Structures are given as C-alpha cells and as structure tokens.
Structure 1
C-alpha cells in the first residue's frame, strides 16, 4: 500500500493505520508476520494485540502514527501500563511504551519507522473486539466457512485471499454485539433443520496465518435461516443474524481517506 499525503489526518480503511502530517509525506506500508518474534515476545511476557505493520516513510516526516489493536480494556484504569509496541529494527527488536491508548488504536508521537505492532501484557484475561467472517462456496448445496477472529485487518485480508482462491465469496455481517474473552469457547448454531456444523464449538484464539473455522453445510437452503454464536462460558448469544436466500455479497469500498 502506498500513500502521498498532504497536511491532514489520514486513515487506511484496509489496514486501520492512521497518521498525521503537517507537510507532504510519501509512505508505503504492508502487513508483516509475527512468527519470527513469537519466542522473544513470550520470553518478555507479551502477546500480540493487532497486526504487525511494516511502514516506510519515503519522504517527509510524520507528526504521529496510530497503530490498530483489538484489545478491549473496559474500565481498567491501568490498561496503558499493559500495552507496548514492538519495534523491529536493523539493530534488533525492542519493546517500547506508547504515548496514548484509545479504544482501537495506540498513538506514537514523532515516530521513526520500521515494522511495528501492538503488544499486550500476558498473564491477565484479555477481551477482544471480534469479527465473524463468513465465506460461501459456489456449490449445489450451501457450504459456509465461519471464522471467529479478533479484529485484525491482516487476518481478514489473508482469509479473503485464501477463500477466494477456493472459489468462496464473502458474506458481510455485523460484528458480535460485545467484546469476547480470548481462549473462551463458543458454539455456532443455525435454525435450519438440515444443517451440519463442524466443529460444534471452538476456542477463540489469535492466529494471523491459519485460524480455525466452523464449516456449516446445509442441504436445503431455499429459505432464510438464522445463525447464532453462543458463549459456552456465559451461555449468552453474542451474534445473531439471518442468512437470506440469494443474498448478495457487496463489499464496502476500501480506500485511504482523511478523517
């Protein structure tokens, strides 16, 4: 991804990256992999809290950058002390404090650039803003893949590319009504009497390369049917939507815009 930015505030709708500049800035950025850094993060007591973004400023200088994260801290007054940013530089990898934490971003003032991503301290229960990503096969019978994942645009893009390569198409639905606790178990059910859902339940975990999914197979999908995601721990419905016959998969336009 590439941007030529003038004075203003910007947000990339694909990656969730935000930046502020007071003059012309040319920058490029892309998703990067957490895999080479997992052992180091574990040894320091941290886990990833969002995508790892490799940002390069080609010309100009940024006033601030805001990195996306999916952690939900609620009313915890000490949440800022539990958040850090991983910096991957030529001289090595380091973990640094952030200037501000908001609901969906962490702010870094006058940043230097290299791959960067949000970290959350291990050892306490973490809730995450999540998505249920639905993909439908073009087949005689209705087959859906349903990914329950933390809100991470790198995961969404990777799953979209993977599923489309198999001939699946996306069905857009709203997010779960509340943040969900990582490592809790969730069940997916449908109102269709002919439906098979495997596995019947699944643990919410973060995997930005190969997340697991529910496979929903329905022999008779000529009528509308509902799908529900239920917390096995709390016993409540956290996602409840209808899949309509002949539903179109209209994707929202993805672009870089000022905000």
Structure 2
C-alpha cells in the first residue's frame, strides 16, 4: 500500500477475507470517530453546552456556547487534541446525543468514509472494471468512466513528479510543491456555493476551484488567478479574501500576498476555494481585466456573430465555449483581451460597415453567474471583404477593443452557407480520442478477435502482454485504457494498428495511422498543460 493510498489489490483480496478487508481499510484511514464524522457532528449535534461541560473548563465552555456556531468553534481546537481527549468528546457525545452517535456508527463503511475514499482510493479504473457487470450496468459504467465524479465539475488530474513551481496553462492555477504530488482539480460553481446575502456582500474576483491533493503536506502554496486590475495605487488589496466552502458554510482568510494576476495562499487547506472582494466596506472598486469573445452562429441567417464581454475568467470562457459548441457555432479567433473596465460601465459596438446590433448598448455587470446567452448579436448580410468592429465605452468614448473579421475567419468548415446547420468536425482531438473512436468502430465479433490478437502477436522488445484475464469481459473503453496503461499513449496506438492489421481490419488501421499523424505530439501528455518555473519566482 504505497503512499497511504488504498489500492484494489489491498482492498478486494486481503488475507483473511472481508474482516481483514475492513481492518486493512480502517488501518489505512487512520482516524477517530470525531474526525471521521466531523461535518455531520458540526451540523447535527444538539445541546452543545452539555457536551462542553463534560470535558472543558468553565472559561472554554463559556467562549464556545456563546458563539452562534458552537460545534464549529469547538472543532477549531479538536485537531490539537490527543486520542485521550478525543475519546472524552466521543463519550460526551454518546451521553448527550446517543441516537446520532448510534446512527453514525451504524453507517455502511463506504458511507462513513465517503470523503476519504473519494480523495485517497487509487487505481479507480480497476475498481470500476471489478464492479462492471456485478454492480454497475454498461450505461452506468460508461457514464462514470467518461464523465466526472461531480456532474458540475470537469476534473483534471496531474501528477507532478518533483518539487518545484508549476502553472496550468488552461486554468492559470499555480502550485508550489515540496515533493512529488498528485493533484485533482476543476472548476466549481459560485452560484451553488454563495447565499443570496453573500452575493450582495462580496464581489466574485476569480474562478471557484475544487482541488484535491495527495499527499496534502506536499503542497507549499497555491496561486489563485484573479481578474482584478490592481495597478491603481488607491486600491485597498486588504479587501481581497480567500473563500473556503464546507458543509457548514463559507470561511474567509487573507491571502499570504497578492500579485498582479494571482493571490498566493501558503500552506493551504483544500475545499472549494476562490477569491472574493468585500463590497460593503469598499469605497474604491478596482477595474476588471476583460475578455471579448466572438462566435459565428451556424444556425442563424447570413453572417450572425455572438459577442461576449466578460471578466478575464477562464472558467466562464470555457462554459461559453462549451455552450456555443453545442449549437455548432465556430469561434472567431481574434485577440480577446480588452482594456480594463469598471462594473456598471456601458459600451456599444461601432463599425463603418452596415450592421444590426442587438442590444444597442451593453452594461458590464457584476454577476456571480454570467448568463451563457450572447451579450450582443451582430448581424450583416454580407462581409463585403471585411468587417471592422470596435467596442467603445460610452462614458469616456474610448475604444476598448477592436478587430477586423474577414471571410476566412467565419467560414463554416465542411459546409456551405445553405447547410450550415449540418456541420460536424469529425477529426479526433487527441491520440486517445483517435484510438477510442477506432475501437468503437469494431463490432462485437471483431472486438473479440482484436483482444485475442493482442495476446497472440509479436510485440516490440520491452512490451509486456496484457493478461488475458484482464481483457475478458471488457468493452472498448476498458481495452483502450489497458492499451494506454501497458504501452503508454504512442505505444498503444502502434500496438492497436498492428493488431487491427492482424485481423484484416486494414481500412481501420490505415485511418488510425492517418488520424494520429494529424495530431500534434504531446497532446495526450498529462503534464503538457503545465509549465515549470523556478520555485519562489512570480507565477
């Protein structure tokens, strides 16, 4: 059991059967009742005063019971307690909240340790393969394999193999680590986390991230990207706070320091985490770094463009991109950065060409959640060679963004204007996509032949055969994973092409060769989106 992680081999086949399984997992989790059930106890314990009287001094008891969040305040001192003190709390809870304690103790192991298992179980694909056909049907299995643990979060997973300082190019998140570490991270939802009153008190200043780290002690600092323009000398950066979200609500702390595009938090704890600016007491609000995004609609008449003016929030830009792709729009690739704006400012589109713009003016609004509908729709019958567009702030009459759109910029690939709604770019984006799409072309008979061929063909030196027992009863999703696991990405493609030719699927083999030649090298590398910089230098 390496690094404290619970593996499938350790958990499913421990010596001694199910009792040993339970002991193995309990040993790995290393916790106490009051630690395991922290969130439930904070939310549900009643008569906190009686609990405190049984174990705390009069002064400690008074300071806790007068606080509205009694159990939360009690738990602020629990982590410093030894086992004897935690046992006293457990006994006090049994006497004052017996029904709750019995309920929690009676929970199934996987319910009781849900959060620990989500964060610490390794080799999840093997767990899924074990459950496939026994507990999970094919649809459930595929949904879990191809989607996310939380349907609102698209998770990214990276293993950083050494100490250093790293930045993700897709999210601008930065990590300073003191040892090898595995990080799982994705965007969360401010709208889901903030209450109505909190939205009035605080201005969202960054994406909200959900981050999990193993081992947590290897993380020295996290660099959270923000979209505030802090160049103005009169801006009070003490109004910027790091928000954490747990089951009992939001907690705040000051960042260790603030940089032009990041706020740095040293020795972080991880839950949903992001940056907020205090609105109520701020007299001077900072301007906001902005992006202008432009899309051509494939389902509207003639040339119809969708324009978005948003904070420089890559989570919002990604959500807009995903929504436009659902309607088969195309991104008009133009410089997206515009001049910083204050919330509440109004802008309008200007052009020497004949265009129709709806609405005529656009207010740059402070919203915790930006709607995915276009901020503006721009229509023209014909580009006439080119279309010059500029975005102008109404109050100052200053141009904040400009671009020139040419016919090639808005050409709908693989279609004519009369059939714009039928576009679909079929080209695979990654080597894995190409491999998976190829395997999915095989019918059930040829899938069996393909798996048999994998076990009976000559392999290049250094390649090991995938055990036949692992290939049996697996679908193409699992076969693709096994190929990548045993031969790495490029080797997996090479072996698959060889096996396809061995079962006379030469057309598919040729297509896979052609598709993979179009895909840039490194597209499938987990660390390809990470750049390393000197530890301690600005991220």
TM over 0.5: yes
Q: 2:210 & 2:305 partners in 1: Cα distance?
A: 33
Considering Cα pairs closer than 8 Å and 6+ residues apart, tell me whether 1 or 2 has the greater RCO. 1
**Distance across 1 between alignment mates of 2:222 and 2:166:** 10
Higher strand share: 1
Alignment equivalent of 2:312, drawn from 144, 151, 160: 151
User: Does the CA contact (< 8 Å) of 2:289 and 2:338 recur in 1?
Assistant: no
Residue correspondence of structure 1 range 102-181 to structure 2 within 5 A? 102-122=259-279, 123=282, 124-138=284-298, 141-181=302-342
Alignment gaps of 5+ in structure 2: 1-155, 412-522, 534-539
Distance in 2 between residues matched to 1:19 and 1:62, nearest whole Å? 7
State the shift of 1:177 in Å: 4.4
Q: What pairs up with 1:1-259 in 2 under 5 angstroms?
A: 1-5=156-160, 6-35=162-191, 36-42=193-199, 45-60=201-216, 61-76=218-233, 79-122=236-279, 123=282, 124-138=284-298, 141-193=302-354, 195-207=355-367, 208-211=369-372, 212-247=374-409, 255-259=529-533
| Superposition TM-score, scaled by structure 1 size | 0.91
Change (3 A) 1:158 1:62: same
- SS of equivalent to 1:98: coil
1:116, 1:15 → 2: CA distance? 14
**C-alpha deviations, 1:47-93, integer Å up to 9, x for none?**
11010000011335211101111011223355321100110124431
Q: Which aligned segments of 4 or more residues in structure 1 are displaced greater than 4 angstroms?
A: none
Residues in 1 aligned to 2:409 and 2:303: alpha-carbon distance in whole angstroms: 12
Q: How much has 1:244 moved relative to structure 2? A: 1.5
Which deviations, in whole Å up to 9, do the C-alpha atoms of 1:99-155 show, x marking residues without a partner? 111111100001111111111121433310000011112356111100000000110
Cα offset for 1:2?
A: 0.9
Contact between 2:296 and 2:303, CA under 8 Å: does it hold in 1? yes
Structure 1 residue 38, shift from structure 2 partner: 4.0
Deviates more, 1:66-75 or 1:204-213: 204-213
- Out of 26-35 and 54-63, give the one that drifted further: 54-63
Q: 1:55 to 1:136 in 2, by over 3 A?
A: same
Helix, strand or coil for the counterpart of 1:71?
A: coil
TM-score by length of 2: 0.45
Question: C-alpha offsets along residues 189-214 of structure 1, whole Å, 9 cap, x if unaligned?
Answer: 22222x11111111112443415511
Report SS of the residue matched to 1:20: strand
Q: Is the 8 A contact 1:141 1:221 kept in 2?
A: no
Secondary structure of the residue aligned to 1:26 is strand
Give distance in 1, aligned partners of 2:202 and 2:406.
42
Name the structure with the higher helix share.
2
Instruction: Tell me the matched-pair count.
Output: 254
Q: Which has the larger radius of gyration?
A: 2
RMSD over aligned CA atoms reads 2.0
User: For the residues of structure 1 that align with 2:353 and 2:315, how far apart are their CA atoms?
Assistant: 32
| Secondary structure at 1:257 match in 2 | strand
Contact 1:47–1:121 (CA under 8 A) maintained in structure 2 = yes
